[in-house]
């Protein structure tokens, strides 16, 4: 299957049929599925239905057992470094949208090094480079320059910036030491996608879909995808995400595929969350993806509260951020005083050392570095 074919497959998903399947699900169907040795993508509507609520403990226990078998008692810690909050897109749900009047800032390479000296002292060796989507400020060449300055202290460098539209651009990043790429499609509901992405390159659904392939072809060792929960109905979006994930695993089999499920948190917008996702639904979603994608890392960010992160830690999660700031220059004291615009509010305010202790107390090992 090529990129054009996966685009057609995702386009032809019958979202209403999936919703009907979930609505009509029974406890007997849930029990039958959970008795199978391997859960399939087709099982998602049943396992995410209301009928599965009473099976959450069963799902969580099975999810935990698979995680222990495949990953051991480890939780990998990472931290985002926001390089810029300039953005050329207008997305109705995002605090970085180009039409918002916020303090815009791009940090220099020297400032990035200063930020990372702080993060390095905290123990981090796994860094995610993040920015708004603006090609004028964040180019492959700039990311390569940042990577060259940081890679000696951060052997695991990933990027979550605007998607680049060629393999060559990602190769520039890979050659500089960036080996991970994260691109969220946000939602696979094309009608809603078009409505909420008002202006900019991000409005092109198909272009964004194909960019993760460019990263795989360029040699990214890690590929991360996800959905932004709250934008559209979770169940058909989860089904489409799983279809996309299966395709990426087959197409880019040398890369490790990870999943993330951030919940919508409007920042400086009046965006209405029409499809809220409860804590229980989020827990089920994490468990279901662990049951289907046994070997894929599952990421849980500091968007969520400390109590919920503690609860979800043993349910299939393998990577967690800690001590995060979502504003450029947010880790150094003098930069904080400048109050550059943040992307969203942090739910878990605990320090990296506090988070590491929570992980240890839960019987797991916090892993700061697992790749050199």
Cβ-contact 324, 368 below 8 angstroms: no
Q: Where are the domains of the chain?
A: 3-367
- Residue 355's pLDDT is 95
pLDDT score of 337: 44
**What's the CATH fold of domain 3-367?**
TIM Barrel (3.20.20)
What pLDDT band is residue 341 in, cutting at 50, 70 and 90? low
Interval 97-138: pLDDT, tens? 999 888 999 999 999 999 999 999 999 999 999 999 999 999
Examine the pLDDT at 333 and tell me if it is beyond 80.
Answer: no
State the average pLDDT over residues 237-243: 98
**Continuous segment of H or E residues that includes residue 83:** strand 74-84
Question: pTM for the full model?
Answer: 0.95
* Per-residue pLDDT at 35 exceeds 60: yes
d(CA 105, CA 3): 35
Q: Would the pLDDT of 173 be above 60?
A: yes
Q: Tens digit of pLDDT for each residue in 1-21? A: 888 899 999 999 999 999 999
Mind listing the pLDDT tens digit for each residue in 64-98? 999 999 999 999 999 999 999 999 999 999 989 99
Task: Work out the mean pLDDT of the chain and round it to a whole number.
Answer: 93
Place of tokens 């390089």: 83
**Paired strand residues for 127:** 79, 157
Rounded CA-CA distance 156/88 in Å is: 28
For residue 302, how many other CB atoms are within 10 A of its CB?
A: 24
DSSP of 195-259: HHEEESGGG-HHHHHHHHHHHHHHT-SEEEEEB-BTSS-HHHHHHHHHHHHHHHHHHTTTSEEEE
pLDDT of 343 > 90? The answer is no
């Amino acid at each position: 299957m090529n990129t054009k074919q996966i685009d057609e497959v995702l386009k032809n998903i019958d979202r209403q049929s999936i919703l009907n399947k979930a609505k009509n699900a029974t406890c007997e169907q849930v029990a039958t599925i959970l008795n199978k040795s391997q859960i399939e993508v087709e099982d998602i509507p049943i396992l995410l239905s209301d009928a599965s609520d009473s099976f959450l403990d069963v799902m969580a226990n099975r999810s935990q057992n698979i995680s222990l078998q495949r990953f051991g008692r480890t939780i990998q810690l990472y931290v985002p470094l926001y390089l810029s909050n300039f953005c050329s897109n207008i997305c109705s749900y995002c605090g970085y949208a180009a039409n918002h009047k916020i303090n815009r800032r791009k940090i220099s390479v020297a400032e990035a090094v200063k930020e990372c000296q702080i993060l390095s002292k905290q123990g981090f060796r796994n860094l995610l480079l993040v920015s708004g989507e603006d090609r004028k400020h964040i180019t492959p060449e700039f990311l390569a320059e940042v990577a060259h300055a940081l890679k000696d202290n951060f052997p695991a460098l990933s990027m979550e910036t605007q998607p680049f539209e060629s393999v060559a651009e990602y190769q520039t990043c890979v050659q500089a030491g960036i080996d991970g790429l994260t691109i969220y499609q946000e939602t696979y509901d094309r009608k809603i996608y078009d409505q909420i992405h008002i202006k900019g390159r991000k409005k092109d659904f198909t272009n964004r879909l194909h960019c993760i392939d460019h990263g795989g072809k360029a040699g990214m060792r890690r590929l991360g995808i996800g959905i932004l929960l709250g934008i559209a109905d979770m169940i058909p979006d989860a089904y489409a995400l799983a279809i996309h994930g299966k395709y990426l695993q087959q197409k880019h089999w040398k890369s490790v595929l990870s999943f993330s499920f951030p919940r919508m948190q409007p920042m400086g917008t009046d965006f209405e969350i029409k499809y809220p996702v409860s804590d229980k639904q989020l827990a089920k979603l994490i468990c279901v993806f662990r049951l289907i994608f046994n070997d894929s890392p599952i990421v849980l960010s500091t968007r969520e509260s400390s109590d919920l992160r503690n609860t979800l830690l043993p349910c299939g999660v393998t990577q967690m951020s800690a001590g995060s700031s979502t504003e450029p220059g947010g880790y150094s004291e003098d930069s904080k005083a400048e109050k550059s615009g943040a992307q969203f509010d942090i739910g878990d305010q605990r320090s990296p050392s506090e988070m590491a202790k929570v992980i240890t107390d839960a019987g797991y090992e916090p892993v700061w570095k697992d790749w050199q």
